[in-house]
Structure 1
Amino acid sequence: MTTTFFLVRHAAHGLLDRVLVGRTPRIGLSDDGRRQARTLAARLAREELTAVHSSPRERAQETANPIAAAARTVVTLAPDLDEIDVGEWTGRSFEEIGRDPRWRVWNEQRARARTPGGESMREVQERAVRVLDHLARAHPEGRIAAVSHGDVIRAALLHYLGLELDAYDRIEVSPAGISTLVVGAWGARILALNERVAA
């Protein structure tokens, strides 16, 4: 028996690529992001989803809601799908963070580094894999959309690929991108990586 996951990065918000929003509250989707969410919902409606789980962040829930509506189900919040806690960097511009020497360490040593006052990538990976493994056991033969965040999805995919966390930048996970993962007692297989259905 296998469980199929559609790992969905939330759609675009207005601060994308300018600010490390992290767990900043009340960051919702932009107009483009809402359009992307509708396109994602139409694409995933063909997959006969049995459940939709989402990070508690507003931008993730706003992405998940139309997906769940199209699947005639409801969104279940999953705290383990939450964005990385980036600590002191939360809400700061990438220009500002780029002057912090710890930022370079974070990006060059993801397997060992920790965000200042926040999480390590290893902790993020552990919780992401924990929730996916739990859902696979709870929903054998399930078809589940899991709406989360770029680095959380990367961390999970690296685990199932058997790659180290320092390889995080080898995987592109775009806003509104879908990566399809199948998990069973025999192991795991990635069927699609960063499918772009909404530019």
Structure 2
Amino acid sequence: MTVLLLRHGRSTSNTANTLAGRSEGVDLDDRGREQASALVDRLESLPIRAIVRSPLLRCERTVEPLAAALGLQPLVDDRITEVDYGAWTGRKIVELVKEPLWAVIQQQPSAAVFPEGEGLAGVQARAVAAVREHDRRLADEHGADVLWIACTHGDVIKSVLADALGTHLDSFQRINADPASVSVVRYTPVRPFVIHVNHTGVALNAALSAPPSTGESETGGVPSGDAVVGGSTD
């Protein structure tokens, strides 16, 4: 099973340098709408069987053009929604960097819990569980390998990638997930394989390798053949 971790397009909060979190009504800006439209050319040729998205508006808007082109009805899953930033929600990034918690988020995110919100360790747990559950569900439904999209948020994507890479959550600041980027993880019975991180090119199909027949090459790899805490707004 292969998941395309799609970060939503650039939002009005991104350009305003505020932490949107789960604020209602945060939409894509003009650039974000262009990015959403461009996803059709980037991904339409891929055999995508399902789209799962965060319940927030910016993710809904991001997948609309692609879902229409593919004839798919996106499924909403609260477990891949944005981090609950609690009292930090809606505040300016320039203010937040002065908070003592900011240093914890940068240096030891596994210990970070947002005031009146949730901890990043909990975010990773819920998001990874959701991705793996959808993988199993789609495998059972289709009886074969399936390519699917999870449209979510920067910090959520980075936490899933950290898990797939087998690295501690405290290292997830080393991962980028830009607006409208696609990161690709293939899950096998042996282990996850991270195929791409932060792909923003024109067409992803040229960058995807053919699914391996056994899950691994002879050397153990796959054969050839998506954020305020990461330095960008959410």
TM range (shorter): over 0.9
**Separation in 2 of the partners of 1:180 and 1:14?**
26
What is the Cα deviation at residue 157 of structure 1? 0.5
Deviation at 1:184, TM superposition (A): 2.0
Tell me whether 1:32 sits opposite 2:31 in the alignment: yes
Q: Partner residue of 1:136?
A: 135
**Hey, what's the Cα distance between the residues in 1 that align with 2:201 and 2:75?**
23
In 1: Cα distance, 2:102 partner to 2:115 partner = 9
State the identity %. 33
Please report the TM-score for the alignment, with normalisation by the length of structure 1: 0.95
**CA-based RMSD:** 1.2
Larger Rg computed on CA atoms: 2
Instruction: Give the corresponding residue for 2:111.
Output: 112
- Whether 2:61 is the aligned partner of 1:90: answer no
Instruction: Show the counterpart of 1:150.
Output: 154
Q: Is 1:48–1:71's contact at 8 Å kept on the other side of the alignment?
A: no
d(CA) in 1 for partners of 2:49, 2:124: 24
In the alignment, the residues of structure 2 paired with residue 82 and residue 41 of structure 1 have an alpha-carbon distance, to the nearest angstrom, of 23
Tell me the TM-score normalised to structure 2 length: 0.81
For these two proteins, the number of residue pairs brought into alignment is: 196
- Matched residue, 2:7: 9
Equivalence map 1:60-99=2 (5 Å): 60-99=59-98
What letter corresponds to residue 185 of structure 1 in structure 2? P
Structure 2 gap segments, 5+ residues each: 140-144, 203-234
Q: Distance in 1 between matches of 2:118 and 2:40?
A: 31
Give the Å deviation of 1:95: 1.3
Please list every run of at least 4 consecutive aligned residues from structure 1 whose deviation after the TM superposition is greater than 4 angstroms: none
Task: Give unpaired runs (5+ residues) of structure 1.
Answer: none
C-alpha contact 1:45 1:70 (8 A) present in aligned 2: yes
Q: Relative to total residues, which structure has the larger strand share, 1 or 2?
A: 1
Contact 1:12 1:176 in 2 (8 A): yes
Greater RCO between the two (CA within 8 Å, min separation 6)?
A: 1
